[in-house]
Amino acid sequence: MLHTHEISVTDDVVRKTYVSWAQDEPGREWQALVHLDRHAPGLAPRPIARLEVDDRPVIDMALVAGLPLTEALSREQTSALAGAFLRLFAVPVPADLRLRAHDPTSFRERFRWWLEADHDWDACQDPDGVRHAVDAARRWLVRHPPTPDWIDDPVIALGDGNLDNVLWDGRACRLVDWEEYGVSDLSYEVADVLEHASSRLERRLDSSALLAELALTADQRERVEHHRRTFACFWLAMLLPGRPGWHRNPPGSTEDQASRVLELVG
């Protein structure tokens, strides 16, 4: 994926210098930090200053204690992760807040053509299986286009399901990297976390345990399952030969994701 920033740490201050900002990543992040510091202090880094250095946007924020959830989560960590998201979802949504980056419509446009392009199928361990999954993903996406009224339960969104953005200090989870901040649907955000490569492909997260901790309604669970299919198709697209995830993941990852897509939509 596109590298958007550089990080430096001095004492207890983290300086984030943006190297690209096509989606107003600095504006989104600063708005998120200020809003969360007011309504959920401690859940995200405390904002210190928004600057411009050498013609590049910069945000200074307080250092957050903890380490990313890069290994399989314990039951205690899963409970703390759910607690962090429940706290986030309880934050009031500003009336004028823009959509999170990669909302369902723009998100599909981002990866749909990857599934339709020609690929070096022979580079895969199971070319026929991967092509079968790609065909199934394409058919499902055509049959289930996003709807304008996709937000049923408006919530503040981190906008990125990567568990690397969750810091664990031994007691609580905190959330960092708010470049894709905006309003979203609760079920869409949960699905993003459950199907992210860091959760499913790397087997870090027990999705059933997290869902139990979140105590969603039947309607919310149904929408989560729908959105999980979209994210599963996205990760298959990401892992195809020549795509960003192909070289960053071990051999067999594409086949693993192909099996997941067929499990959900095949």
CA atoms of 133 and 147, how far apart (whole Å): 24
Mean pLDDT of the chain: 96
User: What is the pTM for the complete model shown?
Assistant: 0.95
Question: Do 185 and 36 meet the contact criterion of CB atoms below 8 Å apart?
Answer: no
How many Cβ atoms from other residues are within 10 Å of residue 83's Cβ? 15
Q: What is the mean pLDDT of residues 83-92?
A: 98
Q: Using CA of residue 245, residue 247, residue 249, residue 252, what is the dihedral sign?
A: positive
CA-CA-CA-CA torsion sign (33, 78, 107, 248):
positive
What percent of the chain is predicted at pLDDT more than 90? 93
Q: Does the pLDDT of residue 1 top 50, yes or no?
A: no
159, 102 contact by CB (below 8 A):
yes
Burial class (CB in 10 A: 0-12, 13-18, 19+), 121: middle
What pLDDT digit, counting tens, does each position of 125-175 carry?
999 999 999 999 999 999 999 999 999 999 999 999 999 999 999 999 999
Strands 67-68 and 166-168, by their bridges, are antiparallel
Instruction: State residue 171's pLDDT score.
Output: 96
